[in-house]
A and B are shown apart, each in its own frame.
Chain A
Amino acid sequence: MERRLVERAMRGDEEAFDTLIDRVGDSLHSVARRILRDPTLAEDATQEALLNAWRNLPRLRDPDRFEAWTYRLVVNACHSQARRERRHRGNLRLLTDDEPMLPDSASRVAAQDQLDAAFRQLSVEHRTVVVLVHYLGQTPSEAAETMGTPVGTARSRLHYALQHLRTALEADARDARNPAQRGTA
């Protein structure tokens, strides 16, 4: 990210910030979509993160860290949106199995479907660490910083999330090998 652009925005230059939105907006929105798995909530989270970035930008200590910082803001915004949504739905987990699948999921391979279903079952916090590490390519340490948690927390969340996803895939593979057992108690 161009340091001068960030510095201009830090001094209140709206045009510079506008350019920054063009540079990071798509990526932030993609991350929010994958964490929240709800288009409307993801849009709200991205908007909240961008406005928070504008509001707090003069206090950013290191302009070179702008992009990493915005990921942190969008993760916080995703968690805020999830919290509001959960309250609205009476503490139900966001987007559970009974919600419609992606339109094209029927044509996906069974493993992808199973992965999709298992990913939905994860909490927002667990989805977050998976997206940061396996979509954005952050290390667990970087993901911890983005999430604002100790590294141990990030590692344990990642471990749990991957274990959950792996188990779901393995169960699906077992079912595929033994179709007669499907549906048994």
Chain B
Amino acid sequence: MTREDEFIGQLEAYLDEYEGMTPLPSSIRDAVRAELPTTRQIGPVTGLMRDTYMNSSMDSPARWGLVVAVVIGAVIIGGALFFGDGVNVGGPSASTPSPSVAPSEAPSEAAVPSPGEPEDFGAHPGGSLDPGDYAFTHIEGIQVVFTVTAGWEKNPPDDVVWSIDDEKATMSARTIYNLYNDPCQPELGLQAPPVGPTANDLATALGSVPGLTFSAPTSVTTTDGVSGLRLHYVPPDDFRDCNGGDIQLAPEMLAPTGDRPVTIDIYDVDGTRVVIAANYTDARDVQLDQMLNSIRFD
């Protein structure tokens, strides 16, 4: 047995033995059971969207494509039945209804977050997001609250909001402790000595990342008055093959290559450095700005 095996064995024995088996106290079971009748289940996306939404193996464009196709199909069949003498799918119609391809995604009342209370983004099971306030809760000690408009979704991991587009815009919140020496070769290791703990330290260190040109940091303030620093960069052309298509600035921070701008906001919140990264696309510039500008820390 190696020393490493011995260490892992000790650790696992410690975890197994820790207070022995700890069954859920009956008082907690009873409390949960008692709350079920009065705890409203959040309704699924209804009808067609539910069926596609539940299909975790289907990616977002495919889901929407299926929705659009079926809606169009339903409208054509319905139109044929309503306006025609019989079913004449695919044939000419004397009176062609104008189908709406907009998915009928009116959220149920139960799906709307309670006023003033952001929905826990981590608890959301994934899929399209109802417009409203959400909170990233994965950073210990901090809730990052933001407002989502229509057209965004949650996919794994829990700390990223994705646009529902072919070309994905994203917004994420992370704590960043250190940077890689080279974002295209993370195997070369992290910077030593590590980047200092403040927003300013990280902004300065980003300015020295090889191959990337960051804008000079500017001030940014959240809606609840927390001041931070904002930087931008645009991946250069010669980064297209970087690290298999990903720019890895830190273990916690991956950004696609390409030519779309990236914004990085850095805040010091109660001693924790929070980094909000936004990957822009043409279609989502305005919405992404709105989301960034809605951020507050609870």
Contacts and interface: CB of A to CB of B under 8 A. Distances in A.
Interface residues of B, number: 60
B20 to A, nearest CB: 9
B74 interface: no
B120 A76 contact: yes
B7 A169 contact: yes
B55 interface: yes
Interface in A113-150: 115-116, 119, 123-125, 130-131, 134-135, 144-145, 147-150
A115 B14 contact: yes
A60 B125 contact: yes
A152 B19 contact: no
B56 A55 contact: no
A79 B137 contact: yes
B42 A43 contact: no
> Chain A, interface size: which category?
35 or more
Pick from B24, B35, B252 the residue with the most CB of A within 10 Å. B24
B140 A73 contact: no
Give me the 7 closest cross-chain CB pairs, A-B, nearest first. Answer: A148-B158, A25-B24, A76-B122, A29-B24, A156-B251, A135-B15, A61-B56
29 contacts: A18-B36, A28-B24, A33-B22, A42-B22, A43-B24, A51-B32, A52-B120, A54-B39, A54-B41, A55-B41, A59-B43, A59-B125, A59-B127, A61-B126, A62-B54, A76-B120, A79-B137, A91-B271, A115-B14, A123-B140, A130-B15, A145-B156, A147-B138, A147-B158, A148-B158, A150-B252, A162-B7, A162-B11, A169-B7
Given A61-B55, A76-B138, 9 more contacts: A29-B28, A43-B25, A56-B123, A57-B41, A61-B127, A79-B137, A111-B10, A148-B138, A148-B157
